[in-house]
Structure 1
Amino acid sequence: MIDYRRRIIDNTLDELQPHLRALSIHGPKGVGKTATAMRRAASVIDLSLPAQREIVAADPSILTRLPGPVLVDEWQRLPEMWDHVRRAVDAGSPPGHFIVAGSSAPRGAVIHSGAGRIVPMRMRPLSIAERGIETPTMSLAALLDGNRDLGGSTALRLTDYVEEITASGFPAIRGLPSRVRRAELDAYLDNVVQREFPEQGYPVRRPAVLRAWLAAYAAATSTTTVYSKILDAATAGLANKPARGTTLAYRDALSSLWLLDAIPPWIPSRNHLDRLGQSPKHQLADPALAARLLGLDTAALLRAEQGSTELSAGTILGALFEHLAALSIHTYAEAAEARVGHLRTRNNDHEVDLIVQHADGRVVGIEVKLADRVEDADTRHLRWLHDRIGKDLIDAVVIYAGERAYRRRDGVAVVPLALFGP
């Protein structure tokens, strides 16, 4: 493929795909699932094409006759294909034979879970490390293994990170001129409302209300705002508000399209902590979508940071910076076979933005700060976490927008986002 940028998931695929009879690569449209899968496929069934849907629907056995690996792309366009692949695996298809790519099945489609047969792998928009804007000097995998070494510096500053927020991690969009990017992101969102929702079995009777709900969700980025408040923000002034079930359908449809990437609450594997909050932290698939829904380009976000608008630093720009960090860390963590959550006590006394949990239950605590320096107040929740869980805290990190990676006297690592990698 021309101009293919190798992805972090490629390392996992190199290791696992030859040994798995079937795997699925799922994620929102435009993240590069097809481009990545096609580099590994000997045969491709593209179910976005009506002619190919007709052929395979008439003769599913073609799946086992084609030379492998066989890529079944956009499988949700013919949901029964999932079960055809599962049955082929049960019948003894060879290792490495099937790669399935696409979204979730439409509402109402009855399919087997694929558990034990089709191994799922999530693909997200480009992480900071995958964008090629800097060479990381700190590895999350090394941190999880107990390596405390760090160093390095970067010339990237706040303006560069704001550009990365608005440029998006969608490979086909981020390299475009800024005005074209905005048009593409608008078209992406319009396509979600007008086409993707109906195709998933969720007819949209009032597109303007759905678009307002999406904007309200974007405004709640990196918070645990309850859905009822998001609905209230989206429908302020409307006498005829949508029913709660309608807005839950919005959430379900967006989840099936992989456009929500909420951070779940961290549940400790050992009984160190109690009275932890159970609400997810809201994030869309890409911070650029959130910024576009809010009508914020690079210049507007920088004005907000300077305090010349109602959007102050520490609110929407800080939330989007955290979103950019979380998008990246999700990708790094999955490559390291780790999980990502967040910690918030029920009385809101303490919170840690991201908790990366090793398979053995130990964790790395990460705070994300939109600042070019880190003060004692910025590490207090990480120090509290260390006091509570002791040796189960592998390391504590503050990700920031400054120049150098270093370790503070209290032991907390301070790392520019651009230098934090897989």
Structure 2
Amino acid sequence: MSPTNRTVVVTGIGATTPLGGDAASTWEGLIAGKSGVKPLEQEWAAEQAVRIAAPVAVEPTEVIPRPQARRLDRSAQFALIAAQEAWKDAGFEAKAGEDTSVDPDRLGAVIASGIGGVTTLLDQYDVLKEKGVRRVSPHTVPMLMPNSPSANVGLAVGARAGVHTPVSACASGAEAIGYAIEMIRTGRADIVVAGGTEAAIHPLPIAAFGNMMAMSKNNENPQGASRPYDVARDGFVLGEGAGVVVLESAEHAARRGARVYAEAVGQGISADAHDIVQPEPEGRGISQALQNLLDRNDLDPAEIVHVNAHATSTPAGDIAELKALRKVFGDDADHMAVSATKSMTGHLLGGAGGVETVATVLALYHRVAPPTINVENLDPEAEANADVVRGEARKLPVEGRIAALNDSFGFGGHNVVLAFRSV
């Protein structure tokens, strides 16, 4: 196989999410149908129209030493925790160079964020106004930079092949993983640490999303508020956290005897060119991303048995995605078990693609699809276009090679679809 078309595999996973402080507890929560959505208890929440969110289950200061945490935006804290878990899970004992099985010049990092260090920016502006210039932290700029999570992960693992930060709203995390796959395929790197992170549970983003009418206002029933495909869905619930995978060329993984979770088949990317916020209602851009995935990669639609859908619980977006799946795959869509894990985690914005990639990989590895919770009355359009996994987890075929998709779409019309296959 030529160095420009190398097979890429997943050898490590890590996460910190509203369901758990690591990948294992997050997966356990997903399979159990657990919701991470809670009432906001901060004083500022009382005046908000939206008073619910999905914060991480384990505060980062319980994992990262406080002196280090003070120099990192919350989004970077999440990314570092997830990346360190994934790095260790892949079997590495130390950063590249110190661990002699890793050449730092052949190691990359691609960690995305849709919004970046927004909490640092807004909090330090409050310090400036209330306490004056001299009290503003000298770490503010390195903390608020959108590339701060990726840079800090790159420093932690010793990556020198390239450290990158795609920013494409809610498609950012998936785009980061797609970019990482291409880095390995084209020979730029042998290993890439990739994923997404977000930390935007703050009064300004919540007020802004709420005034856009994009978020659920079901404050009386937090755990039932994120309800993709239900006829009564009324918007997404904001979550926070990070998901990271270690991607590696199959040859490199085999040489060191690494455990392989799945093959990273490839990506499909497109743009709607429709609206800065609203999805194209018929899913044309999504259809194009799916078709690009099929055209550019060795993937048989008959292999695809599971889809981790973007499905944010918005009236328009959920159905457009399912229409696209039906348009591209036709009758093959009937055997694809569709899960909407945002029903449990909330919407992690730029972190969603990372966390949902972890979920997709584990679904293949364990051959079980997580449920979509809170679907009390399935939208007829959803029922007509897809097989939605509801209520309880569902076993996937135990024989043969199977594949799964992870869909991510973002404001601005960004569409990214990732494909993974069992090994």
Task: State TM-score, norm by structure 1.
Answer: 0.26
TM-score (norm 2): 0.26
As a proportion of its length, which structure holds more strand?
A: 2
Structure number with larger C-alpha Rg? 1
The higher-RCO structure (CA 8 Å, 6+ apart) is 2
